[in-house]
Amino acid sequence: MISKLPITEVYCEAMVRPTVCKTPDIVINIQRRLAQMLLVLFFISRQLKFRTWIAQNDKGIIYQNKKLGETEGVIVSLKDEQLMLAFDDAIRAALLIDCIWFKNGSLMPAVMEIEHSTGVTSGLSRMKNFKDKYPPYPTRYVIVAPDETRDKVIKEANKPQFLDLNTRFFPYSAVEELYALCLKRNLRGITEEFLDCYMEPVLQK
């Protein structure tokens, strides 16, 4: 349960979990950080007038006493999106992708996987599976991860099986910077290409 996201810092003030919990504290901390990033990506998308798909297994995250999956701007079912209507295989492939942004029923600005502590390969594989099941369409395939994992992201994204994703790296610091800018300046009227200022292409030529 996330109680609030301060303006200048992105962190989890409170998380409610069972009283009896055998999950190691380090795992809980990882889960909290992942939830933070997912919430921040959602708030950025809302500021930019996007609609957001949140992974099916993350829709139960509680923010301000409300499930994230029940929040305005979060897509309940991918079958509700015009771009996905005719592609059942792609819908199934997208169910566990952390975050997908849609705009105006005709654009897909970004497909994103958050990789905090697990191998980058799992996120790349989910995005690759989705791409293979969806017709060629302009979007950004993005790994969201701690700044210090940049070299690892570059290495994994440049493996032959992932080259066609043309992966971008969206470091936590850039996510938080964009979030703070959205809040401070109440951004309006910008295009999704603005995202390219924050998402670094990592494909080696």
User: 43-100: per-residue pLDDT in tens?
Assistant: 999 888 999 999 998 888 888 788 888 999 999 999 989 999 999 999 999 999 999 9
Local structure of 119: helix, strand or coil: coil
* Neighbouring residues of 147: CB distance < 8 A, sequence distance ≥ 6: 171, 172, 173
For residue 136, is it within any domain?
yes
Please state, rounded to an integer, the average pLDDT across all residues of the chain: 84
User: Which is more confident, 202 or 118?
Assistant: 202
For residue 60, is it within any domain?
yes
Residue 133 has pLDDT above 60, yes or no: yes
Two structure tokens written together for 26: 């380090």
User: Which is more confident, 12 or 160?
Assistant: 160
For residue 10, is it within any domain?
no
Give the predicted TM-score (pTM) of the model.
0.85
**pLDDT tier at 117, thresholds 50, 70, 90:** low
For residue 97, is it within any domain?
yes
Of 2-6, 145-149, 167-171, which range is least confident?
A: 2-6
- Tell me which residue range forms the domain holding 143: 25-201
Phi, psi (5° rounding) for residue 52?
Answer: -125, 130
User: Which is more confident, 27 or 86?
Assistant: 86
The number of folded domains in the chain is: 1
For residue 11, is it within any domain?
no
7 vs 24: CA distance, rounded Å: 29
For residue 159, is it within any domain?
yes
Q: What is the pLDDT of residue 100?
A: 97
Angle between helices 172-185 and 25-47 (to 10 degrees): 40
For residue 5, is it within any domain?
no
For residue 6, is it within any domain?
no
Q: What is the pLDDT of residue 118?
A: 65
